[in-house]
Amino acid sequence: MTDASLSAEDVRAIADLARLELSEDEVALYQRQISDILGYFQKLQELDTSQIDPTSSVLPLTNVMRADEAAEPLPVDEVVANAPDSDGGQFRVRAVLADAE
């Protein structure tokens, strides 16, 4: 895994891009950890996958949505029944914008 080792300067540059402040101990720790991860990726690159079909997902994809069908609307009282606050069949919410003066 030595081919994929990062220098301490590489780790500092990555930390700078991520706006992270690292101690020297953290730089050394992440240098080892990231180098190990890159080494694992190098090992995976050695695998022969020519006989494996490309896939975007290993899970079968199905539509779990119901059909969109027109129906009678719910009664207003039922719609606002669970609202924290309502007035005249409408939802009442706190103001989220400051008063414009």
Convert the pLDDT of each residue in 11-66 to its tens digit: 999 999 999 999 999 999 999 999 999 999 999 999 998 888 888 778 887 888 88
Q: Cα–Cα distances in Å, from 64 out to 60, 61, 67, 81?
A: 12, 9, 10, 28
pLDDT at 43: 92
Two tokens at 1?
């895994």
Non-local CB neighbours of 14 within 8 Å, separated by 6+ positions: 34
pLDDT at 1: 42
pLDDT at 20: 95
Task: Specify the CATH architecture of the domain 2-45.
Answer: Orthogonal Bundle (1.10)
Instruction: Please report which confidence band the pLDDT of residue 100 belongs to, taking 50, 70 and 90 as the band edges.
Output: low
pLDDT over 50 (residue 68): yes
Fill in the amino acid letter for 75.
Answer: P
Instruction: Please report which confidence band the pLDDT of residue 4 belongs to, taking 50, 70 and 90 as the band edges.
Output: confident
Non-local CB neighbours of 42 within 8 Å, separated by 6+ positions: 1, 3, 4
Coil, strand or helix: which one is 22?
A: coil
The pTM score is 0.48
